[in-house]
Amino acid sequence: MTTLMSKEIRSTLTSKGYIEISILTMDKPTPAEDEVLIRVEASPINPSDLGLLLTFAADLNDIQITGSGDQTVTKIKVNDRLMKAMTQRLDQSMQVGNEGGGIVEDAGLSFKNLIGKTVGVAGGAMYSQYRCVPARNCLVMDDDTHPVEAASSFVNPLTVLAFIETMKLEKHSAMVHTAAASNLGQMLVKVCKDDDIPLVNIVRKAEQVDLLKNLGAEYVCNMAEPTFMESLIDALMATGATLGFDATGGGNEGKLPGQILSAMEIAANKSAKQYSRYGSDVHKQVYIYGGLDQSPTILNRSYGMQWGLGGWLLMPMIAKIGMEQFQQMRKRVAKEIKTTFLSQYSTEVSFEEMLQPENIKAYAKQATGAKYLVVPHKH
Residue 71 burial (C-beta neighbours within 10 Å; 0-12, 13-18, 19+): exposed
Is 352 found in the same domain as 314?
Answer: no
Query: Is position 338 within any domain?
Result: no
Is 40 found in the same domain as 74?
Answer: yes
Residue 155 CB contacts under 8 Å (≥ 6 apart), including other chains? 44, 46, 48, 98, 99, 122, 314
Residue 262's CATH number: 3.40.50.720
Query: Is position 333 within any domain?
Result: no
Query: Is position 198 within any domain?
Result: yes
Residue 150 CB contacts under 8 Å (≥ 6 apart), including other chains? 42, 101, 102, 118, 119, 120, 139, 141, 337
Query: Is position 172 within any domain?
Result: yes
Is 202 found in the same domain as 131?
Answer: no
Q: Which residues pair with 311 in a beta bridge?
A: 288
Residue 46's CATH number: 3.90.180.10
Print pLDDT tens along the chain (379 aa). Answer: 567 899 999 999 999 999 999 999 999 999 999 999 999 999 999 988 999 999 888 999 999 999 999 999 999 999 988 888 888 899 999 999 999 999 999 999 999 999 999 999 998 999 999 999 999 999 999 999 999 999 999 999 999 999 999 999 999 999 999 999 999 999 999 999 999 999 999 999 999 999 999 999 999 999 999 999 999 999 999 999 999 999 998 788 889 999 999 999 999 988 655 656 667 889 999 999 988 777 889 998 888 889 999 999 999 999 999 999 999 999 999 999 999 999 999 999 999 999 999 999 999 998 888 999 999 999 8
Is 181 found in the same domain as 108?
Answer: no
Is 271 found in the same domain as 179?
Answer: yes
Is 148 found in the same domain as 15?
Answer: yes
* Residue 49, CA atoms < 13 Å, CB-side half-sphere: 31
Residue 201 CA to residue 323 CA, distance in Å, equals 30
Strands, DSSP E only, in 135-214? 138-140, 175-177, 199-203
Is 260 found in the same domain as 205?
Answer: yes
The verdict on pTM exceeding 0.85 is yes
Is 140 found in the same domain as 102?
Answer: yes
Query: Is position 297 within any domain?
Result: yes
Q: Which residues pair with 20 in a beta bridge?
A: 12, 75
Query: Is position 101 within any domain?
Result: yes
**Domain stop point among 284, 303, 319:** 319
Is 145 found in the same domain as 186?
Answer: no
Query: Is position 325 within any domain?
Result: no
Is 147 found in the same domain as 23?
Answer: yes
Is 299 found in the same domain as 209?
Answer: yes
Domain count along the chain: 2
Query: Is position 328 within any domain?
Result: no
Closest CA to 364 of 60, 108, 87, 115: 60
Is 110 found in the same domain as 29?
Answer: yes
Residue 351 CA to residue 11 CA, distance in Å, equals 12
- By residue range, what is the domain housing residue 43? 5-152+343-374
Residue 214 CA to residue 224 CA, distance in Å, equals 20
